[in-house]
Amino acid sequence: MAGKQHLPANLTSDQVVALQDALLANADRLLQAAIALLDRGDVSLARSLAILGVEESGKAIALHERRVQIVHSAEGEPFVDQRLRDLWGLHKLKLELVHDFLVREDYWFGAEPSDPERNAEVLGTIEDWKRNQNQLKQRGFYVDVSPYGDPISPQEAADAGAVRAVVGHVHQIGWQLRLGEHIEGKRQRDQQEDVYPASEDEIEQTRRLMRDVDPSIVEQVVESMSVGAKGVDLRNASYAFVLPANPFDNVGRPGYEAQDRELWALAQDIEESSDADDANDEASQHENLSSPETK
């Protein structure tokens, strides 16, 4: 297995973006390979690759969170801080960060709310991996020896369902992080823009909408609207998230595999929904033409 990993003393903004893309691309590659191995029945090796994929995802999350944080840090502060250095060198911290990210669901996006029971199952598996990650990871690659001298094959029994559930859940991280980049980019852009005082009509409309709210809270809101606010300059702005001019500019780029899959699935859903609507319209028209009232 590879030795302890280290980060350089600092990273430029371009290096951070390139590293993020490379991490997400490699995490996707490892997780896809884990799925292929599961389909072949090689569960132990699939688990080893899944753990590696989770670790790469953890590093990508750490970079994202540092980019969110650094625009509020002291100007000129190095991007690589102690938290990143610690996480880069300790596998347990990477799994812990993935666990926490999935618990918080900061950027959850779906047609339906997330499933707490399924989340609990997946998070429990990651928690188990966190406690024994090095042993479990190596077990998929090497033949071990029991205390009694018997060989322990890498093809030992492992829970295929648990591995598949984790892989399916962790695949969402790439998509959620790309959504997070858009959300944080918009938030950072809005922070820099001045908010002009509201008009009398806007204030009156707010009073009407909040007529059932505590009057003291309403007055605080109205006072804030009346004054407006001046935008705040971001520090270390080169690390800030920049919204693409075209939301499809990154389609097909390495590191955007999870986003591409979600966009493709969304396009398929829209197409199927449109086809179903067309079929319903045709059936309705046919029914109307066949009705005695139309004859």
At residue 31, the pLDDT reads 95
At residue 263, the pLDDT reads 84
pTM for this one?
0.78
Distance CA(64)–CA(135), nearest Å, equals: 29
DSSP strand pairing (144-145 vs 151-152): antiparallel
Give the residue from 119, 163, 166, 171 showing the smallest Cα distance to 139: 163
125, 162 contact by CB (below 8 A): yes
What SS3 class is residue 235? coil
At residue 277, the pLDDT reads 60
Indicate the domain borders of the chain: 1-194+250-264, 195-229
127, 54 contact by CB (below 8 A): no
What SS3 class is residue 249? coil
Question: Can you tell me which residue has the tokens 């690659």?
Answer: 141
Question: Can you tell me which residue has the tokens 């859903």?
Answer: 269
Give the alpha-carbon dihedral of 242, 243, 248, 254, to 10 degrees.
30
Distance CA(168)–CA(57), nearest Å, equals: 13
At residue 133, the pLDDT reads 62
Query: What is the mean pLDDT for each group of 10 consecutive residues in the chain (295 residues)?
Result: 74 97 96 94 90 95 97 96 94 91 79 63 80 67 76 70 87 90 93 85 91 90 83 92 86 91 82 66 63 58
- Please list the residues that pair with 229 across neighbouring strands: 195
At residue 290, the pLDDT reads 62
At residue 264, the pLDDT reads 85
